[in-house]
Structure 1
Amino acid sequence: MPSRKPVDMFDSEVFDPTKLINQLYPDEASLTDLDKFVTVLEKKIQHLDQERFNAVRSQGGAHARARQDLTVAHGQIEELFTKIRDIQRKSEESEVTVQEVCQDIKKLDYAKKHLMKSITALRRLAMLMAAVTDLEASCDSRDQYRKCANHVEAAHQLMECFQQYEAIPKVRSIALRLAAVEARLQYAVLDDFKILIGGPANDGLKMPPENLERLATACLVVDVLGKEVQDQVMDWLCSREMSIYQSAFGGAVGMMVGATATATAAAAAADAHATRLDKFEQRFGWFRERLKEKREVWGLFPPHWRVPQMLCLAFCKITKAHLKRILSEDDDSDAGGGGGADSMSATEARRRLEKFRARVKAEQQQAGTAVARISEAFEGVLVQYYVDQEERELLGALDGAVREEVERRWLPDEEEGTRTSPAGGHGCCRTRVLQSAKKIFFRIRASLTRCSEDVSRGPTLVALAQLFRRVLSGYAAELMRRLPKTAAGGTSANPAVVGGSTHWYVRLSEEDERVVCCLLATAEFCRDETKGLAGALAKAVEPHFADRVDCGEVENAFVGLATACMNVLVLGINTRLDGPLLKMTKMKWDAIKATGDKSPFVAAIRKVLLDCAPRLGAGLEAANLSSLCDKVARMFVPRLREAIFRLRRVADGGMMQLAIDMDADLPAFTTYVEREMGHVVALVKVLQSRPEQLVDNYLLLMPPAAQSLMEFQRLCDLKALNRKQQSDLLGCYQLKAGQLGGRAGGGEAGGGTKHPSMMTHGSRTLCNSSLVLLMLQLLLILLLPMYLLL
């Protein structure tokens, strides 16, 4: 028997009979079971045939059943479609029915809505007719004002519903009836106000309580009649009160609110004492007492009528007209008789005006809407008298300040005129500001505060701003007048060639240099203060006058003054340097056989710069000092170059001497600074070394005077080495330093050396010499290409 079941082989898709036989019977000995194997295969074939036959027979019966099931399914589907069509038809019929029902409901809704509107309109029309009828019945009875007010208010509310139906005759007739009733009611109310309150002649009579109640109810009627009737009542009331006011103080002028008030000449003459300007404050006292006296009557009016405020406005208007007339009469009397009506000085008049304005301002703050109602009358007088007085005082202060500066020779006090400001990175620079500038701006600020707070923020302040500009422009002109000038009288000029005209010279003494520095500092101070003053004026003045208080011209004047000061300093320094240049052109350069350290003209240039540097360094700020150096170099270097081209017959010795002069050493302190900075640079390079190269680089790069065991120990600590590395490096350093001749020991014993000359000079000398250093550096940089061309 084979070792495997052949069934698995027969089921394979890649069955190979030959291969199967070879596997089952590999040799002749295995053929002994061949008959049995054949018998098994035949039985297997018979079994498979039987299974195939059964499968075919069963499949034939299933096909018939499937056909029968499919027929049944088709019948059920057709029945289902029939039912769906029935449902769809019924739903369409239901939708039509619903639409018909909804259409009927919508018609009913519209009918109901229109019916409700009609009922409401009829009810309102009936109520309106009833209200108008009741109003017609009660309008003639003046003791039923409250009832009339209610009827009018109800009628107005109902008439709002019929505004779109005014074209209907019935509604139009009711509206005409209501207008006629309101006209009758308006006449009755106004007549009652005039009767119950009374005219000016009945002012002192006390009103009975029943009349007060009647007035209160009449106010209710006026409220419902509208704003126009209320304005008529207020016009009559203000006219009555102002008539009493004018009869008390005389001088009826102008148009009042709603009526024209007059006063007889006899009354004006009787009250002439009250028309004086110094008696003007009595009017405000009278008005305050009047408000207190009539407080009970004014309290009857509704609060939203603002009766006291309206009376205040009318009072302000009449008082303003009186005030203008009084001031115009005073002007006429001054022009005709040469003196004031009250014979007071301008200063006293200004003081009283300021006092009166302050009081009016306080009352205006309480009145709210009465701002500037009366004080506007003073604007013309204030511009004429107040500003004139301020001008006299400010110009007097300016003249006095200029005289004081002349007495002090235009030099500030040591303590008061000093302003400290940064100068570079070290120390400070003392900037001098003249005391006259501070005094003038102090007075201007005080005048501005006084005018804006107590006098006016309108045309008077604008006129005062113009005065400030004139005063500051005059002060700038005085400072400009003090500046040293050229022969032509200017502060700037183009220098002539070396040896040419001297019209551009500006000869400055030491005192002149200090004065010019002070003028420069003062000009910058005034420029900054003027900018701040312009901002303060713009904030203080009324917004529509803000464009009339600009101080740009004054700022430009002080900027021009600062520029002129800088130009004068530049011309002054170049005037001094012109002598050494002239000496340079007169030297015999062809006779020089042996070169020296420097020529006489170089020493002269250095002397000039060293002489003026301390004064300019102390008197100028850092920015101005740097700008001055640039401008001096820009003016001097071209002239030096021109002077070199004017030289004749320069021999080899002279050319070498000129090269030495142009490449001269810088001052001693520069060498010291460079040497000390070289030590620092070498130390940084040593710190960048690796530990194994640290000793060699230290001995190679560090100067001998800076080498010591202690310094090397500090360097090792700075590199954050561990103790073993530090111990090894210190031993190596001592060994190599000993081999180099004890250089480390000598350095440790000697310590560091100090420059002999620099230890005797303070930081002040360094700061003052910076000007010389900067100038010489610029000269060397610009002249080196010229020397190469020669």
Structure 2
Amino acid sequence: GVEPLMQKIQSEIRRVDASILAAVRQQSNSGTKAKEELAAATNAVQELMYKIREIKTKAEQSETMVQEICRDIKKLDCAKRHITTTITALHRLTMLVSAVEQLQVMASKRQYKEAAAQLEAVNQLCSHFEAYRDVPKISELREKLKNIKKILKSHVYSDFTSLGTGKETEDEDLLQQLSDACLVVDALEPSVREELVKNFCSKELISYKQIFDGAELAKLDKTERRYAWIKRRLRSNEDTWKIFPPSWHVDYLLCIQFCKITRTQLVDILNNLKEKPDVATLLLALQRTLEFEEELAEKFSGGTTTARNKELESDDENEGTEHNKIVSDIRKKYEKKLGVPNDEAEQDKEKQKDLSVPGAGV
């Protein structure tokens, strides 16, 4: 009947109410839990942000510390370099002071060979102090070195005046000393060597100028005697002049100076002729001159081209227009007619007369 059905419906209603109540309670609990979880998540995020800020702060502090460490390392490295440079400079300064003192002793004793090597070392040490020229101690050392160089130069020039004093053979000790002196000259300024060689060549040619500037030999037909004189001079002094380094080209420079003097004297002779010169005499002088030029070219063909070109350029610049005209005229007119005068007897007579003049013989 109806009663059982009603009971069944009420039972179902109670079950549904219980389910609804359970669902409401569950929903209520879920909302509370969600709020709690949200609050927990918010706290976790805040804590994470705090930790991130803390890490960032520590990173900035670490970066600052690293920069300070690097800056200190750079300072230490710079200080190390300065200390190393200072120690090196002081060491070199000590060496320079000692070397200058030793050089002074060597210069006073004329120990040229040792002084040359010492001077090279001193010059090398001085190059390290170019930036300290204004330092009083360096200025004092440079001035002292300058005075020592002057002393060495004076001693070398003085010793070279003993060379070629008319002796048949030079003293071996003197030659060795002068050979060592050349090493010192090479260690000094290039101008010292140039001046020394120039003075030496001028001294060697003093007798030549005296002999061939006199009335007996200051003639055009005596031109051959001039070339014989210089060739004899080169032969007789060949061993003695070995004291000079080959790079100095002393014999070459001597011949250059000889040629300049000879040219000047021959031009004067031609200008002072009262009458027209004999054609045969001109031809003979020209022939001997050309032969002498060929001998010089052959002798010095293996030398330094640059140095010789410089000498030749200087020679050309100083050459007078009058001399050029004389030489060119003779070359044009008589180059194809070179010959020896027929009057050989007269020439023999003149040669015998030449031999009576001191220093003019072959």
User: Under TM normalisation by the shorter chain, which class is it?
Assistant: 0.5 to 0.7
Opposite residue 171 of structure 1, the aligned amino acid is I
Query: Matched residues in 2 for 1:215 and 1:236: separation?
Result: 15
Query: Matched residues in 1 for 2:172 and 2:329: separation?
Result: 54
Question: Which among 122, 134, 143 is matched to residue 155 of structure 1?
Answer: 122
Query: Matched residues in 2 for 1:354 and 1:230: separation?
Result: 35
Query: Matched residues in 1 for 2:97 and 2:49: separation?
Result: 71
Opposite residue 125 of structure 1, the aligned amino acid is L
Question: 1:671 — aligned with what?
Answer: none
Offset at 1:205?
2.3
Aligned ranges for residues 136-155 of structure 1 at < 5 Å?
136-142=104-110, 144-155=111-122
Offset at 1:312?
1.8
Query: Matched residues in 1 for 2:331 and 2:229: separation?
Result: 28
Aligned ranges for residues 186-201 of structure 1 at < 5 Å?
186-195=153-162, 197-199=163-165
Question: Which among 152, 168, 188 is matched to residue 225 of structure 1?
Answer: 188
Counterpart check, 1:307 vs 2:250: yes
Opposite residue 269 of structure 1, the aligned amino acid is A
Query: Matched residues in 2 for 1:355 and 1:198: separation?
Result: 32
Question: 1:295 — aligned with what?
Answer: 238
Equivalences, count:
288
Secondary structure of the residue aligned to 2:108 is: coil
Counterpart check, 1:135 vs 2:81: no
Cα gap change, 1:285/1:82 in structure 2, threshold over 3 Å: closer, same or farther?
Answer: farther
Question: 1:21 — aligned with what?
Answer: none
Question: 2:265 — aligned with what?
Answer: 322
Cα gap change, 1:80/1:245 in structure 2, threshold over 3 Å: closer, same or farther?
Answer: farther
Aligned ranges for residues 75-474 of structure 1 at < 5 Å?
85-142=53-110, 144-195=111-162, 197-199=163-165, 202=166, 204-248=167-211, 250-251=212-213, 268-272=214-218, 275-276=219-220, 278-330=221-273, 333-334=274-275, 340-342=276-278, 344=279, 349=282, 351-352=283-284, 355-356=287-288, 358-359=290-291, 361-362=293-294, 363-364=296-297, 366=300, 368-369=308-309, 371=312, 373=315, 378-382=323-327, 389=333
Cα gap change, 1:326/1:74 in structure 2, threshold over 3 Å: closer, same or farther?
Answer: farther
Cα gap change, 1:207/1:325 in structure 2, threshold over 3 Å: closer, same or farther?
Answer: same
Cα gap change, 1:386/1:101 in structure 2, threshold over 3 Å: closer, same or farther?
Answer: closer
Query: Matched residues in 1 for 2:198 and 2:312: separation?
Result: 21
CA deviation string 1:299-322 (max 9, x = no partner): 211222221221122111111111
Offset at 1:191?
1.0
Decide whether the 8 Å contact of 2:201 with 2:253 is kept in 1. Answer: yes
Query: Matched residues in 1 for 2:92 and 2:177: separation?
Result: 31
Decide whether the 8 Å contact of 2:224 with 2:285 is kept in 1. Answer: no
Decide whether the 8 Å contact of 1:216 with 1:300 is kept in 2. Answer: yes
Q: What do you get for the CA RMSD once the two structures are aligned? A: 3.4
Query: Matched residues in 2 for 1:74 and 1:305: separation?
Result: 98
CA deviation string 1:212-245 (max 9, x = no partner): 2111111111122222322231122111111132
Query: Matched residues in 1 for 2:284 and 2:323: separation?
Result: 12
Query: Matched residues in 1 for 2:102 and 2:49: separation?
Result: 78
Give the TM-score, by structure 1 length: 0.33
Unmatched 5+ residue regions in structure 2?
1-29, 302-307, 339-362
Offset at 1:356?
4.9
Query: Matched residues in 1 for 2:331 and 2:117: separation?
Result: 58
Aligned ranges for residues 528-677 of structure 1 at < 5 Å?
none
Opposite residue 90 of structure 2, the aligned amino acid is L
Cα gap change, 1:385/1:145 in structure 2, threshold over 3 Å: closer, same or farther?
Answer: closer
Secondary structure of the residue aligned to 2:243 is: coil
Question: 1:695 — aligned with what?
Answer: none
Offset at 1:360?
5.3
Opposite residue 65 of structure 2, the aligned amino acid is T
Offset at 1:82?
6.1
Query: Matched residues in 2 for 1:120 and 1:230: separation?
Result: 34
Query: Matched residues in 1 for 2:331 and 2:191: separation?
Result: 43
Query: Matched residues in 1 for 2:216 and 2:193: separation?
Result: 35
Offset at 1:186?
1.8
Cα gap change, 1:359/1:198 in structure 2, threshold over 3 Å: closer, same or farther?
Answer: closer
Cα gap change, 1:232/1:353 in structure 2, threshold over 3 Å: closer, same or farther?
Answer: closer
Decide whether the 8 Å contact of 1:364 with 1:371 is kept in 2. Answer: no
Bigger relative contact order (CA 8 A; separation at least 6): 2
Cα gap change, 1:198/1:291 in structure 2, threshold over 3 Å: closer, same or farther?
Answer: closer
Query: Matched residues in 2 for 1:92 and 1:293: separation?
Result: 91
Secondary structure of the residue aligned to 1:217 is: helix
Secondary structure of the residue aligned to 1:321 is: helix
Cα gap change, 1:84/1:354 in structure 2, threshold over 3 Å: closer, same or farther?
Answer: farther
Cα gap change, 1:182/1:317 in structure 2, threshold over 3 Å: closer, same or farther?
Answer: same
Offset at 1:385?
5.8
Give the TM-score, by structure 2 length: 0.68
Secondary structure of the residue aligned to 1:162 is: helix
Query: Matched residues in 1 for 2:287 and 2:52: separation?
Result: 104
CA deviation string 1:427-475 (max 9, x = no partner): xxxxxxxxxxxxxxxxxxxxxxx79xx9xxxxxxxxxxxxxxxxxxxxx
Cα gap change, 1:360/1:77 in structure 2, threshold over 3 Å: closer, same or farther?
Answer: farther
Query: Matched residues in 2 for 1:206 and 1:281: separation?
Result: 27
